[in-house]
Structure 1
Amino acid sequence: MKRILVSALTLAALVSAPAGAQTQESAGIQINQKTDAERIEFLLSVADAYFAEKEYESAVSAYERILEIDPNHQQSRYVIGHVYIEAKQYQKAEKLLSELVEDFPEDFKLKNNLAWLYATAEDPAVRDGHKAIALAQEAMAIDPYDHHVWSTLAEAYYVTGQYEKAYRAITHMASVATTHGQGVTQEQVDAYNEQIRKCKRAWDTQKMIEGTDDESEK
């Protein structure tokens, strides 16, 4: 946490300084102002540190400052969409990710992120399960072996009440992650297992209410 506090103080100084400021002389004291490239590099490290500590609002501020310096900074444009979702700034996330999907239609990760937003947004004005399904399927068509996409598709089916499809998608995700997944963390494993349990409970309940036998599972 100490790293975050130090970074926050320096970030405040960077935000107040004009972009592109050069070395100045004042009362015989030399003040070294960072170049734009140096400022961006530093702000990236600050944003990463905030994100790691789940300080999403502060991470957003750092990334937005980078985009003020360089509106076309590719890394920040990509990452801030995900950070907006975590910070629950859904309208900003939708606008940015929609623009990126239009600019880079073959990037399945962008489509997956936008699909995840539509599937999980707590704001009912943004949540749209059917849009999430369509985007997740488009992402899956580009890369059918990415487990994130199958997780997103399962969540999209879940929020639209298609519990059998949700359960089948999430169990297939587990198979894909086992075969093709790399660098899956324990935190992700726990989240996926909870998603599997959630989808199975919903499908089991639906079958019980509808009086469906277990033949459909075979």
Structure 2
Amino acid sequence: MFPVLGVFSIYFFRYSFVSDHFQYLASMGPLVLVAAAGSEGFNRLGVVESLGRGLPFLRVGLCTVVLLLLGILTWQQTAVYHDLITLYTTTLAQNPGCWMAHYNLGIALRDRGESDQAITHYRQAIALRPGYAEAHYNLGRLLAEKGEFNDAVDHYEAALAINPDDPEAHNNLGATFVQQGRIDDAIAHYQKALATQPDYAAASCNLADALLSKGNIDGAIVHYLKCVAVLPNQPDAQYNLASALLRKGRIDEAIVHYEKTLELRPENANARVNLGSAFLAKDRVVDAITEYKEALRLAPDNVPAQSNLAWLLATSPDPSLRNGPEAVVLAEQARRLSDGKPLILRILAAAYAEADRFSEATDTAHEALRAADDQGNSVLSDLLRKEIALYESGHPYHRQSP
């Protein structure tokens, strides 16, 4: 049992912070020898004969003293095990070169929210053991959380130099590159993470986000579908997938994922607006109006909800759904919040016409036409010219039934 007495360092002591537990069994032999030596010493000194009947009392007294001393020492030692931070701090006070204690103290401090101190101990662990990938990885995470992206990249790359097949390090490095605007580099690392671990849902979500930001909608949809297959209750992924599907004209699928988004996050006003637009594309006008109104209840200044609802109330083929005055209120609010965009002005003009305010409809439509011409939007300009002719003749514009 000599090797586990802690007299010298052997392999597993690199991962051991307190070696007391290795000494319990090993100490039995030495303790027996000490007891035997004490007994023999008493015999040779003639203590036993001299005490006579007082010997039992002496034994009890000595045992009591020894037990009290051991109890006091034990009580003092238990303070070291009060919590992880105390344990590792005590270990480092006795052995400042214990790199693993620095590392685990960093973890304990991070879990307690003391990031700066955790970073200090991660750095010390790395200084003592530069090839420890986990320390580089965890230090990179904390640095990224603090916005120190350049240093975070350095440590993620150091971790990957040691362990190039670590999918989490690739994923987190990719996320850090996104923060730096290095989208292509991020995509490369997300792909490496998935090459190592194909079912890594977080990497699929992140890759989808990056591809979407590059305009690769088809690629984004593929990876969002992989993401939500593993993490169906991830509202952001569901929302982004639905929006990508809507942009590709896959309306029925988009509706399914918007509804799932709202099941998970009912207060998402933008999801309600987009679901309304998807309903409108399927000619579910009443459902669209319901979603736009709910979006405005949640976010009264939501311009897409204001403008889309105003357009329906002003131009619906169904007379029972039209409401000119309400459309005017909504369109005027949208105009104030959107800085006179030509499409908003077109909607406001249609609302004025539905409310029999044809002079204002004509003036607003002309203003929209000038803005559209300035933008070079010939399609919108042609539509506005036709609508202006209606307003000048005293007729509102109503969409044709599909």
What range describes the TM-score normalised by the shorter chain of this pair? 0.5 to 0.7
Q: Deviations over 1:69-116 (max 9, x none)?
A: 433345422322222223222222222222222332233332222212
Shift of 1:42: 5.5
Aligned residue number for residue 124 of structure 1: 319
Q: Deviations over 1:161-213 (max 9, x none)?
A: 5444323212201334466x6xx8x5xx41x2233222232245459xxxxxx
Aligned residue number for residue 97 of structure 1: 292
Conserved? CA contact 1:44–1:63, under 8 Å: no
Aligned length: 176
Q: What stretches of structure 2 of length at least 5 have no aligned partner?
A: 1-216, 396-402
CA RMSD of aligned residues (A): 3.6
Aligned letter for 2:360?
Answer: K
Q: Deviations over 1:115-172 (max 9, x none)?
A: 1221233333222222111211122233442323211111223344544432321220
Aligned letter for 2:367?
Answer: H
TM normalised by structure 2 equals: 0.37
Conserved? CA contact 1:163–1:202, under 8 Å: no
Which has the bigger relative contact order, CA under 8 A and spacing at least 6? 1
Task: Give the match's secondary structure for 1:72.
Answer: coil
Q: When you count helix as a share of all residues, which structure comes out higher?
A: 2
Shift of 1:52: 2.6
Answering whether residue 362 of structure 2 is matched by residue 170 of structure 1, we say no
Q: Structure 1 residues 156 and 201, CA, compared in 2 at 3 Å: closer, same or farther?
A: same
Task: Give the match's secondary structure for 2:321.
Answer: coil
Aligned letter for 2:331?
Answer: A
Q: What stretches of structure 1 of length at least 5 have no aligned partner?
A: 20-32, 208-218
Aligned letter for 2:387?
Answer: C
Q: Structure 1 residues 121 and 51, CA, compared in 2 at 3 Å: closer, same or farther?
A: farther
Shift of 1:34: 0.9
Answering whether residue 377 of structure 2 is matched by residue 201 of structure 1, we say no
Q: Structure 1 residues 160 and 174, CA, compared in 2 at 3 Å: closer, same or farther?
A: same
Shift of 1:59: 2.5
Conserved? CA contact 1:136–1:152, under 8 Å: yes
Task: Give the match's secondary structure for 2:318.
Answer: coil
**Which one has the largest radius of gyration?**
2
Q: Deviations over 1:52-77 (max 9, x none)?
A: 33x43442233113223433345422
TM normalised by structure 1 equals: 0.62
Residues 154-163 or 34-43, more deviating: 34-43
Q: Tell me the distance in 2 between the aligned counterparts of 1:144 and 1:112.
A: 13
Aligned residue number for residue 138 of structure 1: 333
Of the candidates 22, 33, 36, which is equivalent to residue 232 of structure 2?
36
Of the candidates 309, 329, 343, which is equivalent to residue 148 of structure 1?
343
